[in-house]
Amino acid sequence: MALAALLLLLLAPCAAEPPEPAEPPDALFAAGSEAYARGDWPAVILHMERALRARGALRSQLVRCRLRCANSSAWPAGEPGPPPALRDLLFFRQLLRRAACLRACAPAAPSRYLLGEELELEFRKRSPYNYLQVAYFKIHKIDKAVAAAHTFFVGNPDHVEMRQNLEYYQMMAGVKESDFTDLEAKPHMHEFRLGVKFYTEEQPHPAILHLEKALEEYFVADTECRALCEGPYDYEGYNYLEYNADLVQAITDHYGQVLSCKQSCVTELASQPGRDKPIEDFLPSHFNYLQFAYYNSGNYEKAIECAKTYLLFFPNDEVMNQNLAYYTAVLGERLAAPIGPRENIQVYRQRSLLEKELLFFSYDAFGIPFVDPDTWTPEEVIPKRLREKQKVERETAARISEEIGNLMKEIETLVEEKTKESVDMSKFVREGGPLLYDGLSIAMNSRLLNGSQRVVVDGVISEEECVELQKLTNAAASAGDGYRGKTSPHTPSETFYGVTVYKALKLGQEGKVSMHSARLYYNVTEKVRRVMESYFRLDTPLYFSYSHLVCRTAIEDKQADRTDSSHAVHVDNCILNAEAMVCVKEPPAYTFRDYSAILYLNGDFEGGAFYFTELDTTTVTAEVQPQCGRAVGFSSGSENPHGVKAVTKGQRCAIALWFTLDPRHSERERVQADDLVKMLFNTEEVDLSQLKGPEAELPGTTDAPGQSVEGKDEL
Ligand SMILES: *[C@@H]1O[C@H](CO)[C@@H](O)[C@H](O)[C@H]1NC(C)=O
Ligand SMILES: *[C@@H]1O[C@H](CO)[C@@H](O)[C@H](O)[C@H]1NC(C)=O
Ligand SMILES: *[C@@H]1O[C@H](CO)[C@@H](O)[C@H](O)[C@H]1NC(C)=O
């Protein structure tokens, strides 16, 4: 009879089977992370969402199938037991039927649907949500990005970057508190937390509602967890018996493994993602909360029921016995006495105790270790010889699991560092630092520029300084190589002239251009460098990689039917293949460039807008119109493809700057410029941080800008 009740408890209604996932979660996950590498955000979302769904579907399909099989082989309720002589055979007949049924639950192993262990770990770590939050952010579905970020963070509370992301999202306009949801929340835990929250706020009615719901969900989750235990025999983890064990031994061994797994569902269900320790005495604690909540709501019958249920686990609990006595006195002995503990919990406890008894027995008889996950197990269930041992083992197990937890964290940190490049979200949040100088203001940040690591700062230099620097270029152009009107390397419809800081200073020294202007140019580049370093909150200095003051001028009679750009879309530190949507970070790209900035000197021309695109080079995500004193700054990687629209009338002047975080790639010419400034102006105010880096001699760093083909990377 107890068995029948037990089975009823275990069996969930048999719903319609979900359609088998078209693609296995592992393939979908792989496709998702490939799409991520390409920066194909819609594909990331499509595949990762499908991977999560496919995994969920597989899991529930397996659970349902196993439960159905368990049902079909169950002893028909109410039938008398077989005579002893037939018991083994009948028992085996049932096993056979069940085995035949189970075969249909999953495709024969090795299944392409079975998740690899590593991939299973990825799902457990909630990695798909890390990819998803980036992808949703990129396509500006901020609410979904926030939910994905939150979901990932709940499972990885030590993840520094994600914490920063969440802080960033908190500050974003339009983000609601309700966006921060845990999409993977286990319903029983979610309800339990809510219940406890209301309980603490002394709101017994909602507390009861949620705690009762939590119990309901607990048993759903428990049923699933236990069904999933009935998997294949795990030789590796559980091979205590002789290899040539006989039939009964072999059965015992596997069955013991399954039972042990089922017992560990207690721990599994009481675990919260990202927390080291499961909640102790989780299931009984529901009744501790409930009895008091019911009492507070004036429901003494229920308070008594819950107190008695709690006492099933801890019959000697003093406080609970006192409570029970009090409730009983208030309600009256006559009404209180017939109220018993909850029946399903009695059954649960009985089954659990029987399992423990069997497991302890095989521990004692065969030495198959078992560590009881519960604290409420009565001593008499544990064989005498094991009692002291069990105590020590529980303590050791707790310690070891803590140590393993720490070790896992260390390993994860290491792994994370290695894989950081792929999902480095810190880029999205490391901005917003102070601008350092008066008169500067942020015109647009990454969010307004529809991307990451982007900023537009206004007021970097004054109107007079703009005019002076524009003059400087033109003076240098005619003074320098005696030519102005060299055709742009980017388009036949524009002329192009550029001068580096060092060259300008040299020309100033030779008296060919204004020394004041050359110094101003030098000063301004340093100002932009410092603003970039501060705004993007860089921990290490930014070094100049290359600086160029450039004017491009529309050639009047070459503008008709023009369809090209002033500078085609490109990425500063990798070679962009727009068709394949990949950016290869290899030489001859300037792979060491980390940040880029352009300071505009004027806006009185036609065309010439700066724009960001997706990796496809055609989807424009943001456009910036140049004007005097405006600087656009951004990280130099594949997240920021950019170009310049055709200048169709007039002259467009700007200072283009590239920076590196790697001192080995600090520009040699800059050091020469620093030296020259020091010599010419006899000052100490040169920023020394710029002088420390470059110790290694770089090949080809003579007077000429050795690292850049003239104009190759102009903006
Ligand atoms: C198990 O069997 C019982 C009766 O035999 C039935 O009512 C119940 O729906 C079955 N459950 C499943 C999951 O098949
Ligand atoms: C350049 O900066 C220095 C100090 O940082 C200042 O003394 C000097 O006047 C500036 N020169 C120009 C031309 O801006
Ligand atoms: C960002 O995208 C929105 C919507 O597509 C667009 O209206 C806006 O102009 C873009 N921002 C910039 C700076 O171009």
As a whole number of Å, the CA-based R_g of the chain is 35
Residue 410 has pLDDT above 70, yes or no: no
Average pLDDT, the chain: 80
Question: Model confidence over 592-648: pLDDT tens digits?
Answer: 899 999 999 999 999 999 999 998 888 999 999 999 999 999 999 988 999 999 999
Report the nearest-CA residue for atom 5 of ligand 1. Answer: 71
Residue 685 in contact with ligand 2 by CB distance below 6 A: yes
**Selected catalytic residue, list 126, 652, 668, 670:** 652
Give the pLDDT mean for 543-556: 88
Ligand whose nearest atom lies closest to the CA of 683: 2
Q: Measuring CA to CA, which residue among 571, 304, 334, 600 is closest to residue 456?
A: 600
pLDDT-derived band at 77, boundaries 50, 70, 90: low
Q: Which of 23-37, 103-117, 263-277, 371-385 has the lowest mean pLDDT?
A: 103-117
Report the nearest-CA residue for atom 10 of ligand 1. Answer: 71
Q: How far is CA 682 from CA 363, 503, 526, 678, 707, in A?
A: 85, 19, 18, 5, 29
Q: Where on the phi/psi map is residue 367: left (φ > 0), alpha (ψ -120 to 50), or beta? A: left
pLDDT-derived band at 232, boundaries 50, 70, 90: low
- Check residue 233 and give its pLDDT: 63
Amino acid of residue 475? A
Alpha-carbon gap, residue 637 to 648, rounded angstroms: 29
Q: Measuring CA to CA, which residue among 512, 515, 544, 550 is closest to residue 528?
A: 544
- Please give the structure tokens belonging to residue 387: 């009692």
Which domains can be identified in the chain, with CATH numbers?
25-73+100-187 (1.25.40), 198-235+246-381 (no CATH), 441-556+564-679 (2.60.120.620)
Number of H helices, E strands in the chain: 24, 15
| Ligand 3 centroid from CA 144, angstroms | 19
Residue 62 in contact with ligand 3 by CB distance below 6 A: no
- Please give the structure tokens belonging to residue 355: 């399992």
pLDDT-derived band at 486, boundaries 50, 70, 90: low
Residue 469 has pLDDT above 90, yes or no: yes
Alpha-carbon gap, residue 546 to 655, rounded angstroms: 11
Q: How far is CA 330 from CA 164, 299, 309, 567, in A?
A: 54, 11, 19, 86
Residue 527 in contact with ligand 2 by CB distance below 6 A: no
DSSP character string of 467-535: HHHHHHHHHHHHHSSS---PBPSS-TTEEEEEE-HHHHHHHHHTTSS-HHHHHHHHHHHHHHHHHHHHH
Residue 167 has pLDDT above 60, yes or no: yes
Give the pLDDT mean for 272-279: 76
Residue 449 in contact with ligand 3 by CB distance below 6 A: yes
Q: In a mutational test of the pocket of ligand 1, which residue from 3, 11, 79 has the highest number of ligand atoms less than 8 Å from its CB?
A: 11
DSSP character string of 313-360: H-TT-HHHHHHHHHHHHHH-HHHHTT----HHHHHHHHHHHHHHHHHH
Report the nearest-CA residue for atom 5 of ligand 3. Answer: 621
Report the nearest-CA residue for atom 14 of ligand 3. Answer: 622
- Judge whether 668 counts as a catalytic residue: no
| Ligand 3 centroid from CA 620, angstroms | 9
The pTM score is 0.52
| More confident of the two residues 692 and 175 | 175
Alpha-carbon gap, residue 499 to 490, rounded angstroms: 17
